[in-house]
Amino acid sequence: MNRVLIKYSKKEEAALLSHRETMRSLERALRRSGLPIAFTLGYNPRPRMSFSPALPLGVAAEAEYVEVSLEGEADLESAKQIMNYSLPRGLSITGIQELAATMPKLSKWTCYGLYCVPGGDGDVFLLLSLAGPKQGRLKDGLQALSQRLALPESAELKGISRVGLYASQEEVFEDAGEPVYYFDGESRELMTIAGNI
Amino acid sequence: MSIDVFLEQELLGVSHPGRYLGIEVNACRKAFARAEVRWALIYPDAYEIGMSNLGLSILYEIINERADAMADRAYLPWIDMQERLIAAAVPLFGLESREPLAAFDILGITLQHELTYTNVVRVLDLARVPLLASQRDSNSPLVIGGGPGAFNPEPVAELFDLLVLGDGEEAVLEITQAVKNWKESGARDRSGFLKECAQVAGVYVPSLYRISYRPDGAIDSIEADAGAPYPVKKRTLANLDAWIYPKKPLVPLIESIHDRVSVELFRGCTRGCRFCQAGMIYRPVRERDAKLLGDWARELVANTGCDELSLASLNSADYGSILSLSDAIAREMERIHVAVSVPSLRTDSFSVQLASRLRRVKRTGLTLAPEAGSSKVRAAINKGVSEDDLMRAVAAAYGEGWRKIKLYFMVGLPGENENDVEEICSVARRIIREGDDGRPAKGLKLSLSISTFVPKPHTPLQWAAQMPLHEIARRHFILKEGLRMKGINLRRHSREMSYLEGIFSRGDRRLLPAIIAAGRQGCFDGWSEFFSWPRWQAALAAEGLDPAWYVERERPRDEIMPWDHLHAGVERDYLWQEYEKARAGIFTPDCRFDGCTSCGACPEPRIQKRAPVEASS
C-alpha cells in the first residue's frame, strides 16, 4: 500500500476550527481529491488516514500533516489542486509527496512542536514535547515563557502559530532562529536550547 | 466597535467558534457593496440545526446565482455569543459579509417549528431591527417569512412584512426583482410596495388583513384590505425537474444534526395520515426524473466530499421506481464509500427490504413509525398499517441483521384511551418476545420514541382537542410502567413543550405580546436545557391568555380558524370530511394507487403523478 504525506497550513479564521473540525474538513477534501484512498474494513469503513497531534483551538499552523494510505497510483499534483479549492478558507495544502515504505509513520516523528510567540522585541520560539513523559501543555509553556521574558500577561493563544513538527530537538534549528526555549512538561522547567550551528 | 474587531476579540472565548466564521466550503461570499439586492437567510436556531435545513440552502443557491443579488446567512448565536454581542453593543451580522443584518434589504426567516418563535424575537432584537412590521420604515430591511410555519404564522405574523406560502424557488426570484425595482425607484412608500407584493402569487402581507374577535374569544371575521387576495393561495412548483437545487450546498464547519447531502426524490405525499401537516400542505406529489436524481447525487458528493447521501422525501419508498433508482445510486456510491440512506420509512416489509439493499456502506439503525399502538387509533389517523405489518417489518429487519430498531409512537391522539396506550407496550413486548418467527429476538434493542399529538392547521385533525397535560402524564406513566423490560429503551418527548407547540400551532395574533415578553427573557425553547414551562405560564397569564382555550378545545365545524385566509391547496370541506372519517375509523386510500379523492390540491390541469412501478400499495 502506498502512503502519501500531505502538508497543510491553518491560518486566519481557520485557526478557530477545532482539531475534530479540521480533520472532517480534510477528510472531505480528500474524498473529493480523486486520490484512491484506502478504507478500513468493517461495517463502517473510514479512510485510512492519520493526523499530526492536535493543535489547541486558536493556534495557527504553518506545517501540519495528514498521512493517507492509497490503493493505487495517483496524480498528486492534481489532488493538491482539488483539495485546495475544497477546503474552508484558511486551510491550504502546501505540499504532497509519496512516502517510501521505509519512512516511519507520522506518529513516530511528530514528537516536538515548535511555536512562534509574538513578543515585545520580535518573535520568540517555544518548543514542546508532544508525547511521552516530557509532554508539555502549550498553556503551561506560555506561562513559563511570559514569566521569564516578562511578556505582557496573556492567557489567550492569539497570534501564536505552530511553525513545525520534528522528530528531534536538533531538527528544530533548520526552521527557527535562536534562542529557542524548551518547556519540559515533567519538570515544568523552561530552558534555553541552542543549535549546533 | 466594528464587527471584525469584536470577532477578533471574542471568538476564542465562545463555545464552537466555528459557528461564526462563515468560511464554509461552497460559501458564496459575494461582495456586499456590489449587490443590488441583499438577502440574509436566517434560521432562527443554533448553527448546527440551521445548517441542515434544505429549504434555506435551496434559496441560498438560487439567489446567489443572480448576478445582481447576494444571499448571506445568519443563525441564532448560542447564549454565550448573544451575551457578548449585547455587552459590546454589536449588532447581529451576516456570517460571510460581516455586515449588520439591519443593513440588508431582506431578512428571510424560515419558520420550521413553533418553538423557534422566541428565537425569531431574539434574532430581530439582536439585529436591532424594529420588532413589529408596523414600526419599520424605509431604513429597515423587509422581514420575510417562509417554511411550513407560514401556513399559520398568526402568532408571529405581525413580526413579518410578508410571508411566502408554499414552494419558495420562484417566489424568491420574483421578490428579488420587485425589491430591485422598488430600490431603483427610491424605495419610498413601503406600504404601497407591500401592497404590490401581495399581488405576487403565494405572498401573504399580514398588515393587509384585519382580525376581529367575538366575546367568547373565537374569531369573528378576517377581513382583507381592498386589493389584497382572499384567500392567499400557496405557491406550487409544477415541474421540480427544472429546479435541481442545491447543487453545491454549504458544508457545515462543525458537526450538524444531519451531516449529509440530500437529493429530494419528490415533494408531497398522499398517504393521507390525518395528523400530518406536511402530508397536506405539500400536495400534490411531484416526482423528479430518475436520471436527473442520479446525476444530482453524483454532483452533490463531488461538490462536498460528504460521506452520506440521503434519498429524501416524505416517504421515499413511494417513489415510483425506488428499487431501481436506489440500487443504481447505492452501487455507484458504494464504490466511493458513501453511505446511502432513506430518512423516513413506512412500516412494511417492502420498506425494510429497501433499507436493507441500501445498507452497503454503513450499518445504521432502522426507524419505523407505526405512530399508534392500536388498530383503532391507527384507523382514526389513516395510518394503514396493521400490527401484523409491524411484526412482519420488524421480523424482516431482524432477519436482515438489524439489532437496533427505533419505533415512533404518538400519544394523545383523538379517540385514544388508556387501553390504546397499553397496546404500545404490548406490541413492544411482543416484538422482543416473539422477534423472528416466534422465538425471542436475541440481542434486539428496541428504542421507543414517544411524542405527543399536536393538532396542526390545514390537517383533518385541526378541529380536534389536544389532550391536557395530566392526561399525557398518565399515558407517559403507563408506558414507563409497561416497558420496564430488558432490551427496551423508552424516550418520551417533553409534554410541556408539546403543549406550548399546541398553543402556537393553532394560535392567533393575540399571542404575540406573550411571545415577545417570553423571548426577551429566554429563547431556544426547543432545547430542554433552556425550555421553561413556568416562564411561559407566567408570560401567557400576564397577557390574560388561557392556554387550555387554544389547546384543549375541540373546535366546532364553523369556527373561523386563525389561518382561514391562507389556503394550502387542500379544501377545508375535504379536511372536515376526513375529520368525520377519522372519528368513524374509515380508511381513505392514497390517490396514487386508487382514484382521486378530490382533496383540491391539484391545480388544473391536474399534475401528473407517476404510476407506482414497484411500490406495493
Query: Domain locations in chain B?
Result: 3-233, 260-499
The residue extents of the domains of chain A are: 2-108, 111-193
List the grid coordinates of B501: 407547540
CB proximity list for B103: less than 8 A, separation 6 or greater: B32, B38, B141
Q: Is pLDDT at B335 greater than 50 in this prediction?
A: yes
Residue with cell 443557491: B61
Class of domain A2-108: alpha beta
B464 band by pLDDT with thresholds 50, 70 and 90: very high
List the grid coordinates of B343: 430518512
Rounded Cα distance between B352 and B330, Å, is 15
- How far apart are the CA of A56 and the nearest CA of chain B, in angstroms? 11
List the grid coordinates of B518: 417570553
| Chain A environment of B340 (Cβ under 8 Å) | none
Mean pLDDT for chain B? 94
Q: Is pLDDT at B613 greater than 60 in this prediction?
A: no
Helix axes B512-521, B533-542, angle to 10 degrees: 140
Residues A18-55 have pLDDT tens digits of 999 999 999 999 999 999 999 998 777 899 999 999 99
The single-letter DSSP state of residue B321 is T
Helix axes B349-358, B387-399, angle to 10 degrees: 20
Q: What pLDDT does residue B437 have?
A: 65
Cβ contact A16–B254 (<8 Å): no
Residue with cell 431582506: B106
Rounded Cα distance between B329 and B15, Å, is 38
Q: Which among B127, B90, B89 has a CA at the least distance from the CA of B108?
A: B127
* Fold match between domain B3-233 and domain B260-499: no
Region of residue B22 (phi > 0: left; psi between -120 and 50: alpha; otherwise: beta): left
Q: Which among B546, B544, B434 has a CA at the least distance from the CA of B499?
A: B546
CB B147 within 8 Å of CB B120: no
CB B267 within 8 Å of CB B203: no
- How far apart are the CA of A82 and the nearest CA of chain B, in angstroms? 11
CA angle B336, B337, B343 (to 5 degrees): 115
Q: Which of A16, A18, A86 is facing B305, going by the closest CB pair?
A: A86
Q: Is pLDDT at B348 greater than 80 in this prediction?
A: yes
**Alpha helix locations (H) across chain A?**
19-32, 76-85, 106-109, 138-149
CB A41 within 8 Å of CB A121: no
- How far apart are the CA of B131 and the nearest CA of chain A, in angstroms? 32
Cβ contact B17–A16 (<8 Å): yes
| Rounded average pLDDT over B401-423 | 94
| Rounded average pLDDT over A95-99 | 96
Residues B521-568 have pLDDT tens digits of 999 999 999 999 999 999 999 999 999 999 999 999 999 999 999 999
CB A128 within 8 Å of CB A176: no
**Alpha carbon A51 to chain centroid, angstroms:** 8
CATH number of B260-499: 3.20.20.70
- β-strand pairing of A49-51 with A2-10: unpaired
B3-233, what's its fold? Rossmann fold (3.40.50)
Q: Give backbone dihedrals phi and psi of B426, rounded to 5 degrees, phi first.
A: -70, -35
Interface test with B, best of A12, A19, A21 (most B CBs within 10 A): A21
Q: Which of A20, A32, A89 is facing B23, going by the closest CB pair?
A: A89
Rounded Cα distance between B538 and B542, Å, is 6
Cβ contact B25–A28 (<8 Å): yes
Half-sphere CA count of B230, side-chain side, radius 13 A: 13
Q: Which among B603, B436, B540, B406 has a CA at the least distance from the CA of B117?
A: B540
Q: Is pLDDT at B384 greater than 60 in this prediction?
A: yes
Name the residue in chain B with its Cα closest to that of A58: B12
| Rounded average pLDDT over A144-155 | 76
- β-strand pairing of B162-164 with B142-146: parallel
First to last CA, chain A: 39
| Chain B environment of A31 (Cβ under 8 Å) | 301, 305-307, 336-337
Interface test with A, best of B4, B259, B303, B337 (most A CBs within 10 A): B337
- How far apart are the CA of A159 and the nearest CA of chain B, in angstroms? 11
Q: What pLDDT does residue A173 have?
A: 77
CB B407 within 8 Å of CB B366: no
DSSP output for B235-265 = B--S-GGG----SSPPBPSS--SS-SEEEE-
Q: Is pLDDT at A196 greater than 70 in this prediction?
A: no
Quick check: bond before B17 cis, omega within 30? no
Return the H-helix or E-strand segment holding B600: none
CB A170 within 8 Å of CB A150: no
Q: What pLDDT does residue A121 have?
A: 73
Q: Give backbone dihedrals phi and psi of B14, rounded to 5 degrees, phi first.
A: -100, 160
Rounded Cα distance between B417 and B253, Å, is 47
Cβ contact A32–B302 (<8 Å): yes
Residues B596-611 have pLDDT tens digits of 999 999 976 565 555 5
Residues B558-577 have pLDDT tens digits of 999 999 999 999 999 999 99
Quote ipTM for the complex.
0.92
Residues B243-252 have pLDDT tens digits of 999 999 999 9
Mean pLDDT for chain A? 90
CA angle B474, B479, B484 (to 5 degrees): 135
Q: What pLDDT does residue B615 have?
A: 46
Residues B100-155 have pLDDT tens digits of 999 999 999 999 999 999 999 999 999 999 999 999 998 899 999 999 999 999 99
Name the residue in chain B with its Cα closest to that of A46: B337
pTM tops 0.90: yes
